Amino acid sequence: MLNPSTCAADTLKLWKFLPPFLQTQDAANNYTFLTWLDGIGQQQQILDNLLRDDTQGNPGWSIVLDVTRCPTYALPWLAQFVGVRFNGATVGNDALMRQAIVNKTGFSRGTPAAIVAAVTPYLGTTGFVNIIERSPDAYSLTIQIHGALGVLDYAQLAKQYPWYTSAGGTPNVDGSFPTYASFPNNTQAMVTAVVQAAIPAGLVANIVFM
């Protein structure tokens, strides 16, 4: 059973509304009512911690927008702002998730440099990207992709084909694609998806493969 020193702070606030004699009775019964009440208080505490100003003067809700204070369970939500998606070993790993968010050039998302950087790995050695902003209108841009699309490298394979595994269930890209010649080529659909992920919502990208 719980006791007042181990339950959620919000649980204790609610419990202390009980008359003193009922608190005494609950203590004599191994805090049976407090334990039941904590099932509610623990859930309420999650929201309370998010929405209230903290003792350091940080305003409510700011915790989920600060990578240094954000609770682990909310990091995937925060990561969306910088275009980070967690998968594999990163999911649930607090340190790795925070590192991925901090290292991402996230708020450059949608800039010409960020779009070019996202597409370039999928191009052949002679390929390049040309971006025409505000084309054909203020909420659109034209992205011209010149040159043949390249061939997936090992890093891209691991990302694009995570289901290729060995009998034991561990990633086995080498076993699935033992020779470079057998690697699948990048496709226009794949590159289009990369571009869409690199631009903010609301912008229309007209992608032209040259």
Domain ranges of the chain: 9-103, 107-209
**In this predicted structure, what is the pLDDT of residue 50?**
83
Question: In the structure encoding, which two tokens stand for residue 32, read together?
Answer: 């049976």
Question: In the structure encoding, which two tokens stand for residue 95, read together?
Answer: 């340190």
Q: Are 185 and 151 in contact (CB under 8 A)?
A: yes
Residue the block writes with tokens 């990633």 = 171
Give strand pairing partners of 129. 145
3-state secondary structure of 19: coil
What is the pTM for the complete model shown? 0.44
Supply the mean pLDDT for the chain.
Answer: 79
Q: What is the pLDDT of residues 26-74, one digit of tens each?
A: 999 999 999 999 989 988 888 888 888 877 877 888 888 888 899 998 9
3-state secondary structure of 1: coil
Q: For the ranges 1-5, 93-97, 103-107, 178-182, which has the lowest average pLDDT? A: 178-182
pLDDT band at residue 24, thresholds of 50, 70 and 90?
A: very high
The letter for the amino acid at 124 is G
Distances (CA, A) of 4 to 44, 45, 92: 16, 15, 30
The beta strand positions in the chain, using DSSP E, are 128-133, 140-146, 204-209
**In this predicted structure, what is the pLDDT of residue 21?**
92
Q: Are 7 and 34 in contact (CB under 8 A)?
A: yes
Query: Does residue 19 have a pLDDT over 90?
Result: yes
Give strand pairing partners of 60. none
